[in-house]
Structure 1
Amino acid sequence: MEAIKKNPKIRIGQSEVQAVRSMTERLSDLDDDFGGRYARPMAAAFLINTVTPYLNAESSSETLDSMLSAAAFLCYLTGWMAVDEGAHGRAQQYYVKALELAGAGGDHNTYCHVLRGMSVQAANLGHGSPAARLANAAAEAAPESTPRMRAFMAGQQAHSYALANEKANALNSLREAERAVNQAESRPGTFGGFSSATLAYATAEVRYALGDVKGSVASLRDHFPLRDSTDSKRSEIKFSALLAQRQLEIGYLEAACETWGFVLDAHPNIHSGRIDELVAKIAPLLRPYRSNAMARDIYDRSREVA
């Protein structure tokens, strides 16, 4: 890395490509464990200080394509971190650059990952039709036909269709994701994994978007026992916060308070704008229930945290 800074035209090979891929995996682990606000500055610094000089270095055409691919996935991951921060405009800039790099390197797999990530962002912001268009584009661009990749794409299509009020398409995509998960034999990878736990969460989101709040709570409760070591701490906190909101929505006050208690215990260890937003909603939601001792305790704790 020091040599590259002194001489950007130094020749690089596959060892530098592997270094970028390994660093991307480590940054992904930091993002999962501590949140996007913690990890994104490190990812951005690595992009600027190391990966950009690598892209300008001399190399074979094969090495350049590999480096473009590695840089594209790192840009995608950095955009994913920016979404977690709540910096949606910045995330879109990273995503667009990731598409450019993946296209230049001929990496169709990363290209469709980025499109799916853009669909997830749109869905989280409540934009159902754009989310569906992006999810469909991602599925059409996907070069792999493995069961797990089909599930990865179909699960996002199902959620997007549900948000766009396309119930039949949503349920069809959800069934496709379920069939694909049942056919999958390999373990989920670091990136692009879709497991039985993920399917339960996707089912919860589809049900909620279609107005079945009670069914969504049941699916979220199914999700947690299915989690394994590939699932991030951040997603556990996020999904727990969503579960608590929906438990309250169907009248399960004390169950919601118990779930929120876990969220508040875990919150100090995560640096996530998305989770901060979910925690900020606790006090307004519990304000009408302060006559209940358990609700009052969670209300007070959430105000202190916020």
Structure 2
Amino acid sequence: MTERISELDDQFGGRHARPMAAAFLVNTVTPYLRADATEAVRKAMMSAASDLCYLTGYMAVDEGIHGLAQQYYLKALALAGASEDHLTYCTTLRGMSVQAVDLGHGRAAMRLADAAAAASPKAGPRMRAFLAGQQAHASAQIGEKTKALMYLREAETAMDKAESQQKAFGSYDPAALNYHTSQVRYELGDVTGAIEAMKQSDRLRYDVYRRARVRHRAMLAERQIAVGHLEAACATWHSALDDYPLVQSGRADQRMQSMLRLIKPHLKNHAARDLNDRARMVMPASLPA
């Protein structure tokens, strides 16, 4: 069930899928956790429940309900600890770091990213890339350039090793690594490098990750307009708008609101004007401009 909900989240966003996950937790998972069972079965159930709690927290982040997300994350940590599920434990700590860095809380993000790495001492190369990429982003946000670049190299090396062993659809992949590369470069002031890495991430991303495609294309456009490439930014925003109506995501909504704000000074330009007109038709009327 967690896998199915995760697929819905990737395609349609957290606002679409989280109510289903929350209802399943309350109505089905909680009674199972109270049932009599052998110790092995109880641990397996707590492990499965921790994974679903983590995913539900992640979807709450996508909605922009950050306090609720933290409650789910803390419950995921408690269940993962009780079931000795080290994978979900460190994945949840990393998720908390992602939430913190996206909110601009770099020091907290760094502590959580380091804790996630420490909780997974026997991580394989793909997991190591997954953790090091987040450490790189958090380091860059707090201005620790040397550490950021070190962690980024570590993530790249681990990803090369992971890809040589096997392709792993549905986990940390080269598209995600390029996203982290873009974030690190942007935090360190290399906007042009950030743009190139985000373009590469977009080229490598699997089609099923629709929500990420909308958000990251919008971020790419924001960086293109920041360096004066107005028409390129408008084209990128149009590509984000192609998928946006299918996604129920607070983070995607925020990116669209940012788009309207950023193009407002350029409405005498035909590309910006066309984009603005299309966005007004596509975006929900309830979303404040």
- The counterpart of 1:272, out of the listed 249, 262, 282, is 249
3-state SS of the aligned residue for 1:63? helix
Written as runs of structure 1 = structure 2, the 5 A alignment for 1:78-89 is 78-89=56-67
User: Does the alignment pair 1:302 with 2:282?
Assistant: no
Find the counterpart in structure 2 of residue 188 from structure 1. 168
**Separation (CA, whole Å) in 2 of partners of 1:262 and 1:227:** 14
The C-alpha deviation readout for 1:121-165, integer Å capped at 9, x for no partner, is: 001101111101000000000143211011000000000000111
The answer on whether the counterparts of 1:112 and 1:139 sit within 8 Å (CA) in structure 2 is yes
3-state SS of the aligned residue for 2:48? helix
Written as runs of structure 1 = structure 2, the 5 A alignment for 1:228-243 is 228=206, 232-243=209-220
**Separation (CA, whole Å) in 1 of partners of 2:167 and 2:3:** 17
- Structure 2 stretches lacking a partner, 5+ long: none
User: Does the alignment pair 1:76 with 2:51?
Assistant: no
Written as runs of structure 1 = structure 2, the 5 A alignment for 1:50-129 is 50-129=28-107
Q: TM-score, normalized by length of structure 1?
A: 0.90
Find the counterpart in structure 2 of residue 281 from structure 1. 258
User: Does the alignment pair 1:25 with 2:8?
Assistant: no
The C-alpha deviation readout for 1:25-75, integer Å capped at 9, x for no partner, is: 000001111100010000000000000000000110000000000000100
User: Does the alignment pair 1:254 with 2:231?
Assistant: yes
The answer on whether the counterparts of 1:280 and 1:302 sit within 8 Å (CA) in structure 2 is no
3-state SS of the aligned residue for 1:77? helix
Find the counterpart in structure 2 of residue 177 from structure 1. 155
Find the counterpart in structure 2 of residue 9 from structure 1. none
Deviation at 1:103, TM superposition (A): 0.9
Find the counterpart in structure 2 of residue 16 from structure 1. none
**Separation (CA, whole Å) in 2 of partners of 1:102 and 1:187:** 27
The answer on whether the counterparts of 1:135 and 1:157 sit within 8 Å (CA) in structure 2 is yes
Distance 1:189 1:67, change over 3 A: farther
Find the counterpart in structure 1 of residue 130 from structure 2. 152
3-state SS of the aligned residue for 1:281? helix
The answer on whether the counterparts of 1:108 and 1:143 sit within 8 Å (CA) in structure 2 is no
RMSD over aligned Cα atoms: 1.1
What amino acid sits opposite 1:186 in the alignment?
A: Q
Runs of 4+ in 1 over 4 A off after TM superposition: none
Identity level (%): 54
The answer on whether the counterparts of 1:257 and 1:298 sit within 8 Å (CA) in structure 2 is yes
**Separation (CA, whole Å) in 2 of partners of 1:30 and 1:244:** 26
Deviation at 1:265, TM superposition (A): 2.2
Query: How many pairs are equivalent?
Result: 281
The C-alpha deviation readout for 1:279-300, integer Å capped at 9, x for no partner, is: 0111110111111111111122
The answer on whether the counterparts of 1:109 and 1:144 sit within 8 Å (CA) in structure 2 is no
Deviation at 1:187, TM superposition (A): 2.2
What amino acid sits opposite 2:8 in the alignment?
A: L
User: Does the alignment pair 1:212 with 2:190?
Assistant: yes
Q: TM-score, normalized by length of structure 2?
A: 0.95
Q: Which has the larger radius of gyration?
A: 1
The C-alpha deviation readout for 1:85-144, integer Å capped at 9, x for no partner, is: 000000000000111111111111110010000000001101111101000000000143
Distance 1:108 1:189, change over 3 A: farther
Find the counterpart in structure 1 of residue 175 from structure 2. 197
Deviation at 1:189, TM superposition (A): 5.0
Find the counterpart in structure 2 of residue 35 from structure 1. 13
**Separation (CA, whole Å) in 2 of partners of 1:263 and 1:122:** 25
**Separation (CA, whole Å) in 2 of partners of 1:76 and 1:129:** 22
